[in-house]
Chain A
Amino acid sequence: MNILVNYVVIPLVKIVVIVAILSGGIAYLTLMERKVIARLQHRLGPMRVGWHGILQPIADGLKFIIKEDIIPIKADRFVFTIAPGISLVPAFIVFSVIPFGPPDSLWGTGGYVTDVNIALLFAVAVSSVGVLGVILGGWASNSKYPLLGALRSSAQMVSYEVAMGFGIIGVLLVANSLSLVEIVEKQRSMGVWFFFVQPIAFLIYYFCGMAETNRLPFDLPEAETELVGGFHTEYSGFRFSLFFIAEYANMITVSSLAVTLFFGGWLRPFSSVAALSFLDIIPPPLWFVIKVLIFLYIFIWVRGTLPRFRFDQLMRIGWKVFLPVAMANVMVTGAILLKFL
């Protein structure tokens, strides 16, 4: 009975709540993106549906559902149909290991669905599966622009994942654990966020994360101006929206992992300074959400500011800048840890 409650009922409730919050968050992230980009370009953005366009995401969702779902006649129907799912499911699975609150919160069940000893590896591994949806979707469309998008996506993913992995190893060396809960706890006990210990690792992680979510300036698999819509050119209606949701879910994943690894997760700023304990009035999960929102804002800000890379530039940055710098970071960190600790 107890086992049933502890391992089935409680996680299930948490999963339902997280998926619900995430879905709502994604819907309103699209509105936030349109509003912020509009402000950057001196426009108003969506204004018609509801007060200042507050109901726009609902209208968009309805539109996606009622639009016709077209499958090209020469497409590989089976692969074409499941590709958006392959892209979407891993994006949501990652959140099962991301901690939103301390282990003693939520009546002692912990502010996370599960705390596994390889949580960080799991998160990186599962989010790397999502790209298969993009590649398969591009191939199954059997049309030239999606195929080009798919090829670009696979090359880009392979190039940036290596650098990303090396960036994360820097954190791993300091934290001495792959468990995300323990990584946050370590930042509390050390009294410093890992961003201040590993700034280079953070920059590499965040840029590679941007590349992995196919966001500008790394959105070459989509590249509207040259490839129409890239891998999702042939997709329409609900299936198109699944790709869209996956992209936004990945943005939230990258931001959440960045916050957890480098900015103290659910911890308030200066968690070791007792004089600032009035900040505890904001509960830990809310601190987490605030930090994630800041990173999501940076995502949108960068999209509104920077132009797209050319493909050779993209490869050069990945292999000749990010990877060597990340490796050097690991070596220097390791040497310092060996010498002084």
Chain B
Amino acid sequence: MSQAVEERFGRYGGRFVPETLIAALDELTAAWARAREDETFQAELGRLLRDFVGRPTPLYRAERLSERVGRRVYLKREDLAHTGAHKINNAVGQALLAKRMGKTRIIAETGAGQHGVATATACALLGLECVVYMGAEDIRRQAPNVARMNLLGATVAPVEAGARTLKEAVSAAIRDWVATVEDTHYVIGSVVGPAPYPALVRDLQRVIGDEARSQALDAEGALPERVIACVGGGSNSIGTFYAFLDDPVELIGIEPGGEGIESGRHGASLSAGSTGVLHGALSAVLADEQGQILEAHSVSAGLDYPGVGPEHAHLRDTGRASYFPVNDAEALLAFRELARLEGIIPALEPSHAVAWLLAESGSESEDAAASASRPGAAGAGAQDGFDLLCLSGRGDKDLDEVIAKLAEIDG
């Protein structure tokens, strides 16, 4: 007996969308319920994940980082997946699903461009037309990824509304879909949006945690004590957490604290937001008292989003996972720290998770120790356990920004 594709997670989730989309969401739910049980589909997806994406990605015991924090730390190397981040797992899966559903046109949204590049890549692979909505401001900031998408044959559609960033790009993609729903599939990039997307994207990202759990057991003969991942929309974190939900393992999500929660300039929907509807789902959002959605802020474009996946809101409420904010400055310093300790240049997004780990063990650099409050950082865990951290992407895309910002911090 197969499990239904969830529409809700506790009180969260649902489908708060224009009526025109309901039939397409029903169709997608039914198609995914069939495809994920279908051996042919799974075999094809498995082949692509292995031969094209490069899975399984390694679980790497980070010796010098472990030494620094005083306990063993393993990094799940999603930065080594094709196109440089976990986003490709979802993009390939959804593009394959769209093709199976007979859709000929793919649309996607992107912020920093990682999901856009992943979707353009999957569309090139499968011969599908691809349009990527991207805020005009993000297009300006992320020129190399725009060039990559164009090279891959995708059309990048600039979005001029609002702050001209990720939130508006998602809205523009949904509006496109409302008008083109008959031949178009919307490849959403995270575990957000109306049902079935939060469950669909989680199902396609759970490969991270499934692999990591088995790799951890191979390496240590035991489960990790803590599993740590960054949370923007929440796809790499839910993908990592999902395999461990029924295990005695602490699940820790790290949100973008921006310039600090008290500054109001952050993207920490779970730590400091309210309950509301954004992009079709009831979840934790950043909104004012009238329900107007606020702009998020993070040094990391991939975390710069005023909402989060509904399953995370549910995991927070039930206490199964804990969520803590990490500020821009801490993430920037952790970016450099990991590069120098391990020879791995992480993306700014997982640098937030690395920063939390460094701070929590009291082993961050002096600059970071002086910088900000960390509500979750009190008290290290037992010394005999080990941690597993999802390194969701590589940092090439962030180099220019990080170098400029570190220069400011270093004075």
Q: Do A and B bind each other?
A: no
Taking Cβ atoms with an 8 Å cutoff, the residues of A that contact B are none
